[in-house]
Amino acid sequence: MQRPLPREAFLQEDTYAKTRLPVDFAWTLIPDAYTSQDFHEVEQQEVFAKSWVPVCVTDEVREPGDFLVVEVAGRSIIVARNQEGELRAHHNVCRHRGARLCEGTGHVKRFFSCPYHAWAYDLDGKCLGTPLFTPESEVPVEARVAFDMADVKAFDKDEMGLHPVRVAEWNFLVFVCLDPATPELEHELGDLTERLAGYRLGEYRLQRRVEYDIKADWKLIGENFMEYYHLPWVHPALVKVSPMDDHYRWQGAGKYVGFCTWPIAANTDDGGWKGLPPVDFVEGQDAEAARFIWLFPNIAINVMANHVVLLLARPDGVGHTAEVVYLLTHPDSIAASTDPETEIDSLMTFWDEVNKEDIGIVERVQDGLRNPAYEGGRMCYRFEESCHRFQNMLIDRMLGIATIPAGDDAETVRMFGPRDKAEQA
């Protein structure tokens, strides 16, 4: 046993040799990836500081002046909507003495004001001025000259704006990227936009938002989400509406893992995904399926014809995750329902129960991974190809390898049936 590994090992290809094997022979990601402080710190810089990271849904910053403070790779970021309705993101640090400008969420009319010395910045990050440039200042007029910066040598407000951060909006999600060298978001999405186009996801609106405190690494949440091996033992209610034989891989070229249940079964006494009326513009298999996507690095996107649920897994230190779950619906579903609030509550209750079952098991896994006796395990090729795909995406990012995984040859590949393509659905 050689745990923990030295920090430099996490940037070396040999460290991941067993996970790099074809899935039929592969071992899981090294245990240190979930338990080591050094790995966590390297991961923050190599993965989260160099990826397009989802930070919120559009409705949280929909109106001009709306803002939200998020943390990505240890940096505090302000995401805001400017007066023209465009998204902007900036480092949450005053250019004067470095104070954090904002906390949490909120709304401003025109500008952010530093709580320390009142330097102000508009929603585009431009430095509007130093104290007393606003007429509503409480400092007496005769004393304002003491604060006038006009005669300060080599001082130019145009050079003192907030440091910008790349920001992008995709359907109902907002992303930021700290690294100017990372390709545009569309590059990493690959064909996902096209594959989900029939749902018109940009029209969906936020209905519910719930936070969970999880004592497990964010990757365990993702890996648990993307494999169905555990369902019979962990989710007895879920398998009634998402039968084991109806699971398919559903993924193309892009930095994501995709799979689906088709068709969705009817609700049971334990609940389910039906109830709220589906939209009538979703057609074909999309109208009968539940699409599940884990978009790298850290968000699950669950899409059905009557609602969408997102699971945003935010790393919060070693072995700890702050998860936010969003439930969104299309206005057409709400308009067609006779009791939308009750139906939304029923959906949220079902998702909450399933999520809590997952939380319980991943926390047990986290506890087990801390035992030095565990050195990794063999992948189950039939059920864990999705985990293998995700773990290799992570390794690529840790090693600075810019790759976009290819997709399956077939549109839907049965996850539990024969592997021979001639026998696949």
pLDDT digits (tens, 9 = 90+) for 278-287: 999 999 999 9
pLDDT value for 138:
55
Which pLDDT band, with edges at 50, 70 and 90, does 310 fall under?
Answer: very high
Rounded CA-CA distance 339/397 in Å is 46
Q: Which 8-state DSSP code applies to residue 7?
A: G
- Poorest-pLDDT segment among 11-20, 51-60, 349-358: 349-358
pLDDT value for 51:
98
What residue spans define the domains of the chain? Answer: 53-166, 202-423
- Poorest-pLDDT segment among 18-32, 195-209, 225-239, 281-295: 225-239
419 pLDDT more than 50? no
Helix (H) or strand (E) holding 398: helix 385-398
pLDDT value for 128:
84
pLDDT value for 230:
54
Average pLDDT over residues 141-169: 75
Average pLDDT over residues 285-298: 94
pLDDT tens for each residue of 98-126? 999 999 999 999 899 998 888 899 999 99
CATH of 53-166, one of 2.102.10.10, 3.40.50.960, 3.90.76.10, 2.30.40.10: 2.102.10.10
367 pLDDT more than 90? yes
pLDDT value for 141:
58
Chain position carrying tokens 């035992």: 371
pLDDT value for 232:
55
pLDDT tens for each residue of 186-226? 999 999 999 999 999 999 999 999 999 999 999 999 998 88
Report the 10 Å Cβ neighbour count for 168.
17
Burial of 145 (0-12, 13-18, 19+ CB in 10 A): exposed
pLDDT value for 150:
60
Average pLDDT over residues 308-337: 97
Please tell me the total number of residues recorded for the chain in this structure: 425
Looking at domain 202-423, its CATH class is alpha beta
Sheet holding 87-91, edge to edge: 87-91, 75-81, 66-72, 105-107
pLDDT value for 424:
41
Average pLDDT over residues 333-354: 94
Rounded CA-CA distance 268/290 in Å is 17
Which pLDDT band, with edges at 50, 70 and 90, does 404 fall under?
Answer: very high
Average pLDDT over residues 166-192: 97
pLDDT value for 229:
56
CA angle 132, 87, 84 (to 5 degrees): 70
